[in-house]
């Protein structure tokens, strides 16, 4: 027995080999990419406004932070993808993801459901050309006007939900027509009031506050809101639902809803567990939800509707849906044109503007300082 075991010297631990500068840089970059990807996927992500569909609540060049935790983060449905690229690789233009592995939709618990008047980022549901996976479709931003189970209509440009008028966003724009006594309105006045005639539009768009100021000028003789007429389908600017051959197979008489952008509905927004009766008037409204969003095989044979090979005259929805509209009501491609937004397409809630860049501004006024860190309402 060694009675001097307490005197034994511990063997020296060999010193770790110092990492090379290259290895340290690689480790740091890998850690940063993984951390940033986790933050963007599960917590918060930055987006930029490219179009005027939300003016004047949100302007082209506004940079936003969008929360993923408010509604619960959506787990990746196409997990194998190039970091920081959405669906297309920059410069080379190839796909930035591999669709050989697609996972089912799952959402982590969130703080709340999507609420009416929330400004929401979602994946564009009507992706019929590129046929990308849900989470790789274009990101859109609109205001939620209708929740699952709501009955929504638009009457003379005013949104009604469950027969009650919805509060209009403070930045909501409509188009107005006006005539002067002969003397044109000073262009500087139009600029100061943020009045814009968008490309392809005949009439200028402005907020209600700007309209009230403009019509008060002495040289403005007449002034009116541009509203599409009631009870007439807009053939030049057709709205949802678009009638396809499968609908004609159901009934020789193609349904005419006589809806337009300013006079639309009423329409019921599908809710999980709601059963709808399917007939010639309801089938065109919900056919895409049933077939595309909820992955059923739909056929019409001799006027009869077959879902997954079984004849039926009703359907029970598996998901919740929402109705999204832009604040710039006459320059927004939204649910009035392509219908419902499924819950699995919801990305997150817009929180605040962290930067706003005006390309049309002078050198010293490119940044819209007054918009920085403004909350989104």
Cα gap 295→324, rounded to integer Å: 22
Cα gap 45→141, rounded to integer Å: 13
> Is the confidence at residue 250, as pLDDT, over 80?
no
Torsions phi, psi for 165 (to 5 deg): -65, 130
Starting at the earlier edge strand, list the strands of the sheet with 173-180: 205-207, 173-180, 220-225
- DSSP letters spanning 97-132: B-TT--PPP-B---S----TT-EEEEE-S---SS--
Cα gap 248→242, rounded to integer Å: 11
Q: What is the pLDDT of residue 23?
A: 87
Do 46 and 141 meet the contact criterion of CB atoms below 8 Å apart?
no
> Is the confidence at residue 12, as pLDDT, over 60?
no
Give yes or no for a cis peptide into 177 (omega within 30° of 0).
no
Mean pLDDT of the chain: 91
Distances (CA, A) of 137 to 43, 86, 319: 20, 8, 19
Residues near 364 by beta carbon (within 8 Å), at least 6 away in sequence: none
Give yes or no for a cis peptide into 262 (omega within 30° of 0).
no
Q: What is the pLDDT of residue 362?
A: 81
What pLDDT digit, counting tens, does each position of 200-219 carry?
A: 899 999 999 999 999 999 99
Task: Tell me if residue 329 falls in helix, strand or coil.
Answer: coil
Task: Tell me if residue 21 falls in helix, strand or coil.
Answer: helix
> Is the confidence at residue 278, as pLDDT, over 60?
yes
What pLDDT digit, counting tens, does each position of 100-132 carry?
A: 999 999 999 999 999 999 999 999 999 877 889
Give yes or no for a cis peptide into 56 (omega within 30° of 0).
yes
Full-model pTM: 0.90
DSSP for residue 166: P
Cα gap 99→192, rounded to integer Å: 49
Cα gap 53→58, rounded to integer Å: 8
Q: What is the pLDDT of residue 1?
A: 47
246 pLDDT band (50/70/90 cuts)? confident
Nearest CA to 72 out of 34, 94, 105 is that of 105
Cα gap 329→53, rounded to integer Å: 8
What pLDDT digit, counting tens, does each position of 293-333 carry?
A: 999 999 999 889 999 999 999 999 999 999 999 999 999 99
Rg of the chain's alpha carbons, rounded to an integer? 27
Which tokens go with 137? Answer: 């479709």
Cα gap 262→329, rounded to integer Å: 8
> Is the confidence at residue 4, as pLDDT, over 90?
no
């Amino acid at each position: 027995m060694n009675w001097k075991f307490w005197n034994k010297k511990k063997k020296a631990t060999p010193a770790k080999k110092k990492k090379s500068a290259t290895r340290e840089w690689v480790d740091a970059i890998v850690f940063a990419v993984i951390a940033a990807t986790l933050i963007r996927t599960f917590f918060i992500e930055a987006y930029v406004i490219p179009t005027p569909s939300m003016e004047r609540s949100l302007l082209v060049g506004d940079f936003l932070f969008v929360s993923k935790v408010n509604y619960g983060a959506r787990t990746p449905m196409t997990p194998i993808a190039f970091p920081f690229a959405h669906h297309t690789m920059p410069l080379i233009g190839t796909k930035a993801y591999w669709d050989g592995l697609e996972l089912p939709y799952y959402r982590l618990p969130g703080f709340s459901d999507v609420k009416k008047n929330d400004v929401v980022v979602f994946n564009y549901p009507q992706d019929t050309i590129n046929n990308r996976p849900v989470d790789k479709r274009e990101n859109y931003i609109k205001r939620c006007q209708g929740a699952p189970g709501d009955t929504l209509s638009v009457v003379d440009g005013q949104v009604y939900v469950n027969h009650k008028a919805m509060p209009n966003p403070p930045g909501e724009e409509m188009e107005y027509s006006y005539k002067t006594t002969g003397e044109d309105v000073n262009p500087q006045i139009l600029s100061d009031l943020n009045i814009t005639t968008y490309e392809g539009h005949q009439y200028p768009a402005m907020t209600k506050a700007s309209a009230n100021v403009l019509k008060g000028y002495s040289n403005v003789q007449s002034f009116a809101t541009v509203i599409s007429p009631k009870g007439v389908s807009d053939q030049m600017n057709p709205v949802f639902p678009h009638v396809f051959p499968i609908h004609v197979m159901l009934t020789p008489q193609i349904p005419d809803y006589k809806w337009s952008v300013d006079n639309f509905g009423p329409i019921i927004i599908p809710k999980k567990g709601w059963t709808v009766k399917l007939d010639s008037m309801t089938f065109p409204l919900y056919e895409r939800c049933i077939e595309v969003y909820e992955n059923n095989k739909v056929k019409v044979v001799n006027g009869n509707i077959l879902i997954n090979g079984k004849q039926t005259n009703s359907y029970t929805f598996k998901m919740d849906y929402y109705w999204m509209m832009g604040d710039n009501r006459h320059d927004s491609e939204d649910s009035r044109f392509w219908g419902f937004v499924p819950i699995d397409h919801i990305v997150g809630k817009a929180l605040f503007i962290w930067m706003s860049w005006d390309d049309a501004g002078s050198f010293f006024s490119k940044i819209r300082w007054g918009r920085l860190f403004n909350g989104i309402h």
